Amino acid sequence: MQETKITSATVYVVDDDEAVRDSIQLLLQSVDYAVETFESPLTFLKAAAAIESGCLVLDVRMPAMSGLELQQRLKQNGVPIPVIFITGHGDVPMAVQAMQAGAFDFLQKPFRDQDLLDRIGEALAWDRNRSRGGRRQDGIRANLKLLSPREREVLDRVVQGQANKVIAADLELSQRTVEIHRARVMEKMQADSLADLVRMMLIVESDSANS
């Protein structure tokens, strides 16, 4: 059993391949990152509730639970940690799917050590910005207050992945009206993409879950 003391910025590595875990751990320790490795996605999922900051290096293919599934579960549990996928058998559709689900990055093996370190550095910087004094949270909350009740209803459904058609039926609106609400939501929230919007909602939701 691993005892997990979750402190500040830690890089979590979840991979069923011991050799990969070890080599990434060595690499990260060589540049003084705090590292925690997990063989099983399920063990990590249990520990994840206590994670406050850091980033996750995640293998796509694992028995029991795939990396993409783990990413989904973390999202559902409101753990807003940036995820960098690594895979030996990645293809374009898989990479696109992971990115659409809000992954921070997706790296194919073999990658250069420096590439992984660069991505981890970026992910940690992103994560620091997220948690720094809750400034980003405050910004997102302030933007949320600008939304009309209708726009908020549309937003909640959009981030759950509902299609406009479904939202329109659900709220008894025309699809065109939903599109307009949706465009206003993106504008008021200053979101670049759906993935960006999903990340923002993760950030504020995980915060209200903790407080």
Partner 1 sequence: MDQSVAGHAGITTPHRIDILLAEPDEAVRDSMQVLFETVGFAVESARDAGQVEALLLQQPPRCLVMASEFTPHGGIALLSQLREHGFNVPAIITACRGGVPLAVEAMRAGATDFLEKPLLDARLLLAVKRVMSQ
Least spacing, CB of residue 119 vs partner 1, in Å: 10
Return the exposure string of 6-43: e unless at least 16 CB atoms fall within 10 Å of the residue's CB, then b. Answer: beebbbbbbbbeeebbeebbebbeeeebebbbbbbbee
**Binding residues for partner 1, total number by CB under 8 A:** 22
Of the listed pieces 37-45, 70-78, 149-157, 161-169, which binds partner 1 according to CB under 8 A? Answer: 161-169
Q: Work out how close the CB of 167 gets to partner 1 at its nearest, in angstroms, rounded to a whole number.
A: 10
Is the Cβ of residue 3 or residue 192 nearer to partner 1 in the bound state?
Answer: 192
Strands (E), the chain: 10-14, 34-38, 54-59, 83-87, 105-108
Hey, what are 80's tokens? Answer: 């807003």
Binding residue for partner 1, selected from 9, 42, 195, 207, defined by CB under 8 A? 195
Helix axes 175-189, 135-145, angle to 10 degrees: 140
Binding flag, residue 106, partner 1 (CB under 8 A) = yes
Interacting residues toward partner 1 by CB under 8 A? 90-92, 95-96, 99-100, 105-106, 108, 163-165, 183, 186-187, 191-196
